[in-house]
């Protein structure tokens, strides 16, 4: 018996691998491998010592794998982080997928994107895009043997020429999505004309871009937490997780990015371009749609570029974007406020933040609403963005 019920096909818009230290180094070009630092879990809920033990023993011990498999349909509830089945071993991941029962699953990296999206001031463009190339090779290989796994590549956009070169490599490698950071692009809007070739390549290839937590600095400036009182307890122990004050404002980055893509006319210029905002919540989407529609309607009287838009923001984003709610968000209420075709199911396997029973949590919020909503949320909205992923 699988975790996902057999009543429909479940398409998972968010899962992860937990990279071992040499994840980038082993896939890097020879001329930069020595310059790349190992992936570190410092300050994470996973300890570097735990990772070192896995490296020394060559992966999960056989008895550990047996215990994971014995969890059956409780795998997603009990199997978490780097000790999870398939966290870094692609053969194990195939077994995990058999147990989870998802038709398809987007697969993101976890820690290896930090030097790519948030490099140190001393990191050269050559090294940054070399790390990008290594990451994408590793992701493509991890997903190559199981067609249920849809690999997500990364491409920073600061250097346009280098970005297009690495995009072409990622597409050639067969990656199914391209994760881009949701911030200013080298001091430019994502709708800058210099980026048109990048968006055009994605549109022509039918490969969506994705925004994801970690694509912009995650935590607030520490000053916002300076209240003169001891810090609040952090439920996951620190590290890469979203804290309470971070969650209050984490939608600002993706909402700004998506808004600029609409207002700059990128979606209208490239009508086959598709994208998704993943693990960034969706509670902000209804207000964004209302605000953008009002803005375009009002400012188009004086803004020549807005006057050129043929669609409302709501029409554009319904056609070309998707958003993944967190398990604790009310999917039913979100669809009541907006439309059923905007939201995507995700498990976040094997991250703790995904919860012990994401389908159960989402079902609770959907309640007695229609089967059509369930079909949209679990299946059809994913296939609107990745139509080639449909399983017969």
- Mean residue pLDDT of the chain comes to 94
Alpha-carbon gap, residue 376 to 392, rounded angstroms: 17
Q: Edge-to-edge strand order for the sheet containing 275-278?
A: 11-12, 104-107, 149-154, 177-179, 209-212, 275-278, 321-323
Looking at residue 245, its pLDDT comes to 85
- Secondary structure of residue 380 in the 3-state scheme: helix
Q: Is the pLDDT of residue 45 over 90?
A: no
Predicted confidence (pLDDT) per residue in 254-284, tens digit: 999 999 999 999 999 999 999 999 999 999 9
- Kindly provide the b/e burial profile for residues 288-323, where b requires at least 16 CB atoms within 10 angstroms of the residue's own CB: bbeebbebbeeeeeeeeebeebebbbbebbbebbbb
Task: For the chain, give the percent of residues with pLDDT over 70.
Answer: 97
Looking at residue 47, its pLDDT comes to 82
Alpha-carbon gap, residue 19 to 94, rounded angstroms: 17
CA distances 251 to 111, 117, 242, 279, Å, are 21, 18, 12, 10
Looking at residue 241, its pLDDT comes to 64
Looking at residue 370, its pLDDT comes to 97
Looking at residue 133, its pLDDT comes to 98
Predicted confidence (pLDDT) per residue in 160-178, tens digit: 999 999 999 999 999 999 9
Mean pLDDT calculated for residue range 285-289: 98
Q: Write the DSSP assignment of 49-95 as a string of letters.
A: HHHHHHHHTTSS-HHHHHHHHTTGGGHHHH--GGGSTTSS-HHHHHH
Looking at residue 80, its pLDDT comes to 95
Among the residue ranges 52-61, 78-87, 221-230, 258-267, the one predicted with the least confidence is 221-230
Going by C-beta distance under 8 Å and a sequence separation of 6 or more, which residues neighbour residue 302?
none
Mean pLDDT calculated for residue range 347-373: 97
Looking at residue 43, its pLDDT comes to 63
Looking at residue 282, its pLDDT comes to 98
Alpha-carbon gap, residue 347 to 234, rounded angstroms: 22
179 within 8 A of 155, measured Cβ to Cβ: yes
Predicted confidence (pLDDT) per residue in 188-236, tens digit: 999 999 999 999 999 999 999 999 999 987 667 888 888 899 877 665 5
Looking at residue 247, its pLDDT comes to 85
The alpha carbon of residue 262 and the mean position of all alpha carbons in its chain are separated, in whole angstroms, by: 20
Residue keyed to tokens 């905002």 = 277
> Six-digit token pair at 329?
């968000």
Residue 226 CB neighbours (<10 A): 9
The alpha carbon of residue 92 and the mean position of all alpha carbons in its chain are separated, in whole angstroms, by: 22
Q: Is the whole model's pTM more than 0.85, yes or no? A: yes
CATH top-level class of 11-387: alpha beta
């Amino acid at each position: 018996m699988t975790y996902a019920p057999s009543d429909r096909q479940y398409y998972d818009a968010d899962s992860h691998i937990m990279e071992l230290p040499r994840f980038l180094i082993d896939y890097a070009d020879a001329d930069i491998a020595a310059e790349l630092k190992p992936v570190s879990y410092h300050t994470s809920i996973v300890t570097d010592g735990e990772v070192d033990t896995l490296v020394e023993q060559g992966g999960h011990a056989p008895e550990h794998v047996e215990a994971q498999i014995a969890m059956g349909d409780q795998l997603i509830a009990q199997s978490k982080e780097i000790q999870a089945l398939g966290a870094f071993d692609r053969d194990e991941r195939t077994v995990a997928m058999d147990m989870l029962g998802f038709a398809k699953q987007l697969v993101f990296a976890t820690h290896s994107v930090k030097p790519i999206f948030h490099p140190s001031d001393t990191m050269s463009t050559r090294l940054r895009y070399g790390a990008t190339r290594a990451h994408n090779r590793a992701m493509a290989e991890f997903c190559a043997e199981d067609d249920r796994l849809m690999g997500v590549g990364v491409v920073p956009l600061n250097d346009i020429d280098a970005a297009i070169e690495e995009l072409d490599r990622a597409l050639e490698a067969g990656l199914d999505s391209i994760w881009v950071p949701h911030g200013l692009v080298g001091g430019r809007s994502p709708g800058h004309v210099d980026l048109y070739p990048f968006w055009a390549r994605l549109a022509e290839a039918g490969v969506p871009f994705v925004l994801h937590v970690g694509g912009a600095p995650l935590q607030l400036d520490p000053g916002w937490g300076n209240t003169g009182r001891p810090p609040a307890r952090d439920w996951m122990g620190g590290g890469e997780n979203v804290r309470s004050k971070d969650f209050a404002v984490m939608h600002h980055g993706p909402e700004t990015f998506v808004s600029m893509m609409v207002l700059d006319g990128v979606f209208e210029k490239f009508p086959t371009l598709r994208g998704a905002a993943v693990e960034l919540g969706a509670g902000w989407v209804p207000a964004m749609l209302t605000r953008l529609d009002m803005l375009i309607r009002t400012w188009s009287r004086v803004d020549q570029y807005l006057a050129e838009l043929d669609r409302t923001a709501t029409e554009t984003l319904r056609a070309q974007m998707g958003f993944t709610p967190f398990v604790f968000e009310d999917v039913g209420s979100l669809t009541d406020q907006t439309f059923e075709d905007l939201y995507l199911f995700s498990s976040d396997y094997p991250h703790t933040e995904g919860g012990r029973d994401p389908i159960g949590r989402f079902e609770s919020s959907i309640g007695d609403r229609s089967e059509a909503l369930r079909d949209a949320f679990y299946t059809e909205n994913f296939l609107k963005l990745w139509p080639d992923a449909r399983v017969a």
